[in-house]
Amino acid sequence: GQNIDQPTEMTATEGAIVQINCTYQTSGFNGLFWYQQHAGEAPTFLSYNVLDGLEEKGRFSSFLSRSKGYSYLLLKELQMKDSASYLCAVTVVGGFKTIFGAGTRLFVKA
């Protein structure tokens, strides 16, 4: 079976750093995506990890530990526009489908 867990909501302050965790239990795990979704908009791609380690892309970084079934998305120098839902999603080998977690709503306050 497949199970993905993320915190439901998080609040952080503008300019700060926030880490959004995602744990998964998935048969045939292949890789892990992070998507950002602003309210009323479509999800947009942030990152994809297939190997263990940290991938940095500007203010956003994503980490994966395959052995622990764990990933996190790190957002630095938070801006008000980062207020959004962050969706963790896993893909399985040969599955032709992406399994999404319920998402974490991030509120950035001044």
Q: How far is the CB of 84 from other proteins (least distance, A)?
A: 14
Nearer CB in complex with other proteins: 48/70 = 48
Q: How far is the CB of 31 from other proteins (least distance, A)?
A: 6
Footprint on this chain of other proteins (rule: CB under 8 A): 30-31, 33, 41-45, 48, 50, 87, 89, 91-103
Asked if 84 and 9 touch (Cβ cutoff 8 Å), the reply is no
Q: How far is the CB of 101 from other proteins (least distance, A)?
A: 6
DSSP state at residue 82 = G
- Cα dihedral 20, 23, 27, 29, rounded to 10, equals 40
Distance of alpha carbon 76 from alpha carbon 83, whole angstroms: 13
Nearer CB in complex with other proteins: 96/110 = 96
